[in-house]
């Protein structure tokens, strides 16, 4: 089948490559000509495990092409996935839908003359409940043959290819039998593999995405609130989380105490969800989400406090090594990265900060030009008075604490992700602390 993917960022580029991998003929479309140039040459514009080889094979095999032209997109296929960004508005917590609207308004005039009897626009971007129905009205006025469906995306950066080819569920918010049939045809290889296909109307599909992300964010903030209680009572949050997670009704996932969540999704999604609910007069139903957000933001401050405690007060003029810049491991995405937020807060207190990350240094440097970066861990840690472990890349777990102790000025470590082995680090002479583990040091 032929389809287009409009918006070729973290979601769209992966979706386009994976749809080509499933055997479809795909045209990727973006307003960013530089991005389209890189993708057309088979080069992903960001780091995502497994994407590079799949993209190159699809481009070489001519199953995947790229363009900046929506006119070409309208002629190429009768099904168009919309994967453009929906960032937080500058003036509120609400979702900024201007890219979604621009993509639809740009495509619609060409749909009239595309020659297809029926056209389906499938939104994958995360949008407030009610968006698809509103956009359907808008689209109908411009292109009467076009229908709209919402098929929210649940991929996780760092494992996006796997999540797209082996999703835990597909959710199809449809307004017609034609839309459902079309989506079943597109995802046929996944459905044949047993992927659950949940069909509903667009409002529920839109809500599934925001409710799921809100639940995940709540789980993270819940355990971080427990970390605050542990700090005040001498209890250990890692053991607490392990014991809670062993209960199958609770489960261990997203119960990792530490620096909290960031990235381009969870923070803006909970704010957008709360803003939309308030717009609907349902503020009390989502008051919890404001607390989830507050608890999360507070963890960044708490990690800075732990660093201060380790250097004995003022961070000014101290050397601080930061391990991690990406908002999560296996990604080079630094959007709303807790690690960089902490690194910058420490810099603003007068510390000499050097940041390491296996993949995200270029993006981090562009976002935070005032910070210093190092291409290897030892260089970042040279003469440091305290090391902050802020993104849980697996390679940081494999560091040799004894070797690193010879590089730093003072062997002091904040394990803000609560994953390093305290016994091994202490045995190598390190003083360490971590959120929710007051007895560690
Ligand atoms: N990144 C994730 O992990 C993830 C996961 C699930 C859902 N989502 C949602 O998916 C959507 C996309 O997220 P992303 O991280 O891929 O964003 P992104 O910023 O990486 O990519 C968006 C792309 O859309 C392009 N674009 C903007 N306006 C356009 C237009 N009018 N026409 C064509 N292209 C246009 C941009 O140039 C960019 O390449 C968002 O709604 C996000 O909330 C993201």
Q: pLDDT grade, residue 240 (50/70/90)? A: very high
Which is catalytic among the residues 18, 230, 265, 381? 265
| Confidence band, pLDDT 50/70/90 cuts, at residue 213 | very high
Atom of ligand 1 nearest to the CA of 103: 31
> What digits encode the pLDDT tens for the residues 333-368?
999 999 999 999 999 999 999 999 999 999 999 999
CB atoms within 10 A of CB 2: 11
Q: pLDDT confidence of 113, banded at 50, 70, 90?
A: confident
pLDDT one-digit tens code per residue, 269-291: 999 999 999 999 999 999 999 99
Number of H helices, E strands in the chain: 19, 14
Q: Would strands 319-323 and 352-356 be described as parallel, antiparallel, or unpaired? A: parallel
Residues 6+ apart with CB under 8 A from 169: 154, 195, 196, 197, 198
Spatial distance between the Cα atoms of 241 and 220, rounded to a whole number of angstroms: 11
Model pLDDT for residues 313-338, shown as the tens digit of each residue = 999 999 999 999 999 999 999 999 99
83 among known catalytic residues: no
pLDDT at 440: 85
pLDDT score for 98? 98
C-alpha 48, offset from chain centre? 12
Mutate to test the pocket of ligand 1, among 109, 132, 264, 269 (most ligand atoms within 8 A of CB): 264
Q: How far apart are the first and last CA of the chain?
A: 60
SS (H, E, C) 324-376: CCCCCCCCCCCCCCHHHHHHHHHHHCCCEEEEECCCCHHHHHHHCCCCEEECC
Distance CA 96, CA 125 (A): 11
Ligand 1: lining residues by beta carbon, under 6 Å:
6-12, 29-32, 35, 83-86, 99, 102-103, 106, 125-126, 153, 155, 157, 264-265
pLDDT at 112 over 90: no
């Amino acid at each position: 089948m032929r389809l287009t993917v409009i918006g070729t960022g973290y979601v769209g580029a992966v979706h386009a490559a994976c749809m080509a991998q499933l055997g479809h003929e795909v045209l990727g479309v973006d307003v960013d000509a530089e991005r389209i140039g890189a993708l057309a040459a088979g080069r992903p514009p960001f780091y995502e495990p497994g994407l590079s080889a799949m993209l190159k094979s699809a481009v070489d095999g001519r199953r995947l092409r790229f363009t900046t032209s929506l006119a070409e997109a309208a002629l190429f296929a009768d099904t168009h996935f919309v994967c453009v960004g929906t960032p937080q508005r500058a003036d509120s917590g609400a979702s900024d839908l201007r890219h979604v609207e621009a993509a639809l308004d740009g495509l619609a005039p060409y749909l009239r003359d595309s020659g297809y009897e029926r056209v389906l626009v499938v939104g994958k971007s995360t949008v407030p409940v009610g968006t698809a129905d509103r956009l359907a009205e808008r689209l109908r006025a411009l292109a009467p043959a076009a229908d709209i469906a919402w098929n929210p995306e649940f991929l996780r950066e760092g494992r996006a290819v796997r999540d797209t080819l082996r999703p835990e569920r597909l959710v199809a918010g449809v307004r017609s039998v034609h839309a459902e049939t079309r989506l079943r045809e597109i995802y046929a290889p996944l459905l044949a593999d047993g992927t659950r296909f949940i069909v509903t109307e667009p409002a529920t599909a839109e809500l599934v995405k925001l409710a799921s992300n809100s639940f995940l964010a709540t789980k993270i903030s819940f355990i971080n609130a427990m970390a605050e209680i542990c700090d005040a009572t001498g209890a250990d949050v890692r053991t607490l989380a392990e014991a809670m997670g062993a209960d199958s009704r609770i489960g261990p996932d997203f119960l990792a105490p530490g620096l909290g969540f960031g990235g381009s999704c969870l923070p803006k999604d909970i704010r957008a969800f709360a803003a939309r609910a308030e717009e609907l007069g349902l503020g009390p139903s989502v008051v919890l989400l404001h607390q989830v957000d507050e608890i999360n933001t507070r963890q960044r401050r708490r990690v800075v406090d732990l660093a201060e405690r380790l250097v004995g007060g003022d961070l000014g003029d101290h050397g601080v090594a930061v391990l991690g810049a990406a908002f999560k491991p296996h990604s080079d995405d630094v959007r709303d990265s807790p690690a960089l937020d902490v690194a910058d807060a420490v810099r603003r207190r007068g510390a000499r900060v050097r940041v390491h990350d296996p993949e995200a240094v270029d993006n981090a440097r562009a976002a935070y030009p005032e910070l210093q970066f190092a291409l290897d861990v030892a260089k970042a840690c040279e003469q440091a008075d305290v090391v902050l472990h802020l993104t849980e890349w697996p390679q940081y777990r494999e560091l040799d604490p004894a070797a690193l102790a010879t590089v730093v000025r003072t062997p002091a470590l904040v394990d803000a992700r609560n994953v390093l082995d305290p016994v091994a680090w202490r045995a190598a002479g390190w003083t360490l602390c971590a959120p929710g583990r007051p007895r560690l040091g």
